[in-house]
C-alpha cells in the first residue's frame, strides 16, 4: 500500500487526508465559513505604521487588518540596499518545500518607506491564527503546476527536494531558455523528469495570469481582491498530487470531474490515478481517517506498548508529557523507560505533524540515568522528524529528560481549527469541586452574620452543589444555621454554573 490522498467534500467543508502505507500522515480542512486566504493577492492601503516594531498594518478588505514586517517589503534597490540570495535554509518556502528567490531588503526604517494611506499590492503569506490577522508580503509569488513565478525578483532556483545534481542542472538550463527576462522562477519538486514543453507552457500560463492581475490593479481602488488562489481541492492536487502518489480518492462526483479536467490539461498521464469513491460507507470511515482525527483531538494519546502521551496546549507553548502507564518491561527499569521513550519519540513527531502544532513544544520524557540512553531518544526523535517539511529546531535532552522543540507554524493547528475553549471552565481545563463551592457558601453566610431576629437566607446553586448540601454536608449546613441564627433554604438552579451561587436574605 503506497501513498494515497483522500478528498472528502461536503457543502459545509472539504477535508483532505494523506496516507502513507495506510497511516494518516497529514490532515487538512477548509470550511465554507472560514476560507483559507493564503495566496490571495490584494490591492491594500497602509492603515498604520509601527516604527517600534518595524512593521505596518495593511487594510486589505478583510475583517482584520493584515500585518507586514519591514522584511516583507519589496522596493526597488537603492544605494545601501542588500540583495539577499536564498539558500536551502531559507524560512520562506512554499508548501512543496521549494525555496523562494532573492530579496531586496532596504536598509531604511519602515517609517521612511511607508506612510498611512499609501496603496500597495500584497499577498497573504500566512493566514489568520487565533486572534491575529493575516500576514502579508509584497514579494508576490504565483505557483503553477511545475513552477513558482516571482515577478519581483530575477532569479532561477530549483527545489532542494530534487536531490540529483544532473537533474537540477538540466532543469536550470531549460529555465534559462524559456524564462521571461527580468522575472524569477523556482522549479518545483514535481518538475523532476518533465520535458521542456511542459515547463514552457507553465511559464506562458503564469505570465498571462500576472498580466491579468496587473490590469486589475490599475482598474480597482484599495482595498480590493486582485487574485484568488485555486479552490482548496485544486490546491491539494497542485501541491500534493505528484508521481509518488498512487491514488487520489474524491467522494464528490462534481469535484471528481472538475479535478480530472484540471489534471487532464496539465498532466494527462496522471488522470488514471484519480478515482471516484461511491461506496455507502463514508470515504474517511473506509480509510480509518475519522478514528485518527478523533485521536488527534484527544488530550491523551495511547502508545502501543501501554504507555501514553498527555498533550496540553497553553497560550505560550505546547507541553507533551510522556508516561509509562501500563508499560512494564521484561528487564530492568532503565530498559523499560528507554523502550517507552523511544516509542514516544516517534509518536511525538507524528502528532506534531498531524496536529500542525507550531511554536515552542516542550517534551517531558521519563528520566533516564544513562547518557547513552538519552542520546538514543534524542536521535530517535530527530530521525522521526526528518520527513517534516516545517522548519524545526531540537535541543539536546536535558538531565531532567526535557527536550525543547521550535517548530514553524505553517497552519493553524487542528485543535484550534476544530475546537474552541470550553465555555464552562473558560479554557482552564478544570472547575472547582462541589465541596469547594459548598465551603465558599458557608463562608459567605457567615459574613452575613447573626441577627437579633431570626432570618431566612435563600441559596440558589447548581443541583450538584445543592445535593451535597442536603446530603453529605447537611450537618455542616445545620451548624452554620445555628451560628448565624438563620434558616438556610437551598434551591437547585440548573441554569447556574457549577461555581456560581446566589444568596438572598429574606
Q: Is residue 261 part of a domain?
A: yes
Question: Between helices 196-219 and 165-178, what is the axis angle to 10°?
Answer: 50
Q: Would the pLDDT of 58 be above 90?
A: yes
Residues 70, 214, single domain; the answer is yes
Residues spanned by the domain of 389: 298-411
Q: What is the dihedral of CA 397, 398, 402, 406, to 10 degrees?
A: -60
| pLDDT tens track for 3-56 | 999 999 988 888 999 998 888 888 888 876 666 688 899 999 999 999 999 999
Q: What would the mean pLDDT of 60-75 be, rounded to a whole number? A: 88
Residues 337, 207, single domain; the answer is no
Residues 154, 106, single domain; the answer is yes
* Eight-state DSSP code of residue 482: H
Q: Is residue 203 part of a domain?
A: yes
Residues 112, 221, single domain; the answer is yes
Beta-bridge mates of residue 82: 105
**Chain center to CA of 53:** 24
**Confidence grade of residue 467 (pLDDT, cut at 50, 70, 90):** very high
Q: Is residue 271 part of a domain?
A: yes
Q: Is residue 144 part of a domain?
A: yes
Q: Is residue 427 part of a domain?
A: no
Q: Would the pLDDT of 266 be above 80?
A: no
Residues 14, 102, single domain; the answer is no
pLDDT given for residue 75 in this prediction: 59
Cis, bond preceding 223 (omega within 30 deg of 0): yes
Q: Would the pLDDT of 74 be above 60?
A: yes
Q: Which of 241, 270, 290 is the last residue of a domain?
A: 290
CA distance 415 to 297: 6
Q: Which of 187, 212, 228 is the last residue of a domain?
A: 228
Residues 244, 378, single domain; the answer is no
- All three cell numbers of 361: 513544544
- Count up the domains in the chain and report the number: 4
Residues 339, 472, single domain; the answer is no
Q: What is the CATH number of the domain that holds 256?
A: 3.30.420.60
Q: Is residue 51 part of a domain?
A: yes
Residues 99, 240, single domain; the answer is no
306: CB partners within 8 A, 6+ apart: 324, 325, 326, 327, 328
Q: How far is residue 126 from each of residues 122, 137, 437, measured CA to CA in Å?
A: 12, 9, 45
Residues 284, 381, single domain; the answer is no
List of long-range contacts for 198-205, beta carbons under 8 Å, 24+ apart? 198/145, 198/146, 198/266, 199/146, 199/147, 199/171, 199/174, 199/175, 202/144, 202/145, 202/146, 202/147, 203/147, 203/149, 203/178, 203/179, 205/144
**28 near 418, Cβ under 8 Å?**
no
Residues 212, 331, single domain; the answer is no
Residues 72, 159, single domain; the answer is yes
Q: How many other C-beta atoms can be found within 10 angstroms of the C-beta atom of residue 130? A: 8
Q: What is the CATH number of the domain that holds 460?
A: 3.40.1260.20
Residues 193, 262, single domain; the answer is no
Q: Would the pLDDT of 224 be above 90?
A: yes
**146 near 189, Cβ under 8 Å?**
no
Q: Is residue 108 part of a domain?
A: yes
Amino acid at each position: 500500500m503506497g501513498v494515497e490522498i483522500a478528498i472528502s467534500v461536503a457543502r459545509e467543508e472539504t477535508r483532505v487526508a494523506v496516507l502513507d502505507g495506510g497511516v494518516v500522515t497529514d490532515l487538512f480542512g477548509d470550511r465554507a465559513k472560514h476560507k483559507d486566504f493564503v495566496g490571495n493577492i490584494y490591492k491594500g492601503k497602509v492603515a498604520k505604521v509601527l516604527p517600534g516594531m518595524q512593521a505596518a498594518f495593511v487594510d486589505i478588505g478583510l475583517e482584520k487588518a493584515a500585518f507586514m514586517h519591514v522584511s516583507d517589503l519589496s522596493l526597488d534597490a537603492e544605494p545601501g540596499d542588500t540583495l539577499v540570495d536564498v539558500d536551502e535554509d531559507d524560512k520562506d518556502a512554499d508548501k512543496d518545500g521549494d525555496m523562494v528567490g532573492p530579496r531586496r531588503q532596504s536598509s531604511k526604517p519602515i517609517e521612511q518607506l511607508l506612510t498611512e494611506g499609501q496603496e500597495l499590492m500584497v499577498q497573504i503569506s500566512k493566514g489568520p491564527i487565533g486572534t491575529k490577522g493575516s500576514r502579508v508580503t509584497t514579494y508576490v509569488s504565483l505557483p503553477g503546476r511545475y513552477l513558482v513565478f516571482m515577478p519581483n525578483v530575477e532569479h532561477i532556483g530549483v527545489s532542494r527536494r530534487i536531490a540529483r545534481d544532473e537533474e537540477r542542472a538540466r532543469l536550470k538550463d531549460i529555465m534559462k531558455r524559456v524564462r521571461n527576462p527580468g522575472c524569477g522562477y523556482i522549479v518545483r519538486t514535481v518538475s523532476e523528469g518533465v520535458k521542456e514543453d511542459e515547463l514552457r507552457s507553465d511559464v506562458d500560463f503564469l505570465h498571462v495570469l500576472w498580466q491579468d492581475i496587473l490590469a486589475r490593479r490599475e482598474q480597482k481602488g484599495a482595498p480590493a481582491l486582485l487574485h484568488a488562489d485555486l479552490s482548496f481541492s485544486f490546491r491539494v492536487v497542485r501541491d500534493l498530487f505528484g508521481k509518488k502518489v498512487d491514488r487520489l480518492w474524491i467522494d464528490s462526483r462534481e469535484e471528481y470531474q472538475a479535478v480530472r479536467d484540471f489534471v487532464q490539461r496539465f498532466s494527462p498521464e496522471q488522470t488514471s490515478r484519480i478515482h471516484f469513491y461511491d461506496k455507502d460507507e463514508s470515504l474517511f470511515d473506509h480509510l480509518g481517517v475519522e478514528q485518527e482525527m478523533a485521536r488527534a483531538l484527544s488530550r491523551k494519546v495511547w502508545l502501543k506498548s501501554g504507555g501514553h502521551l498527555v498533550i496540553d496546549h497553553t497560550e505560550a507553548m505546547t507541553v507533551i508529557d510522556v508516561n509509562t502507564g501500563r508499560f512494564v518491561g521484561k528487564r530492568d527499569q532503565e530498559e523499560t523507560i528507554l523502550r517507552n521513550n523511544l516509542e514516544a519519540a516517534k509518536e511525538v513527531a507524528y502528532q506534531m505533524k498531524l496536529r500542525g502544532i507550531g511554536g515552542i513544544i516542550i517534551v517531558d520524557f521519563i528520566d533516564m540515568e544513562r547518557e547513552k540512553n538519552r542520546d538514543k531518544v534524542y536521535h530517535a526523535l530527530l530521525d522521526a522528524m526528518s520527513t517534516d517539511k516545517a522548519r524545526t529546531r531540537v535541543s539536546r535532552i536535558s538531565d531532567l529528560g526535557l527536550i525543547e522543540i521550535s517548530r514553524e507554524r505553517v497552519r493553524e493547528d487542528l485543535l484550534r481549527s476544530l475546537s474552541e475553549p470550553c465555555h464552562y471552565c473558560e479554557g482552564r481545563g478544570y472547575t472547582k469541586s462541589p465541596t469547594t463551592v459548598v465551603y465558599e457558601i458557608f463562608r459567605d453566610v457567615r459574613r452575613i452574620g447573626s441577627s437579633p431576629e431570626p432570618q431566612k437566607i435563600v441559596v440558589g446553586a447548581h443541583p450538584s452543589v445543592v445535593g451535597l448540601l442536603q446530603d453529605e454536608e447537611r450537618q455542616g449546613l445545620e451548624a452554620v444555621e445555628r451560628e448565624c441564627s438563620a434558616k438556610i433554604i437551598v434551591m437547585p438552579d440548573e441554569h447556574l454554573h457549577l461555581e456560581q451561587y446566589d444568596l438572598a436574605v429574606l
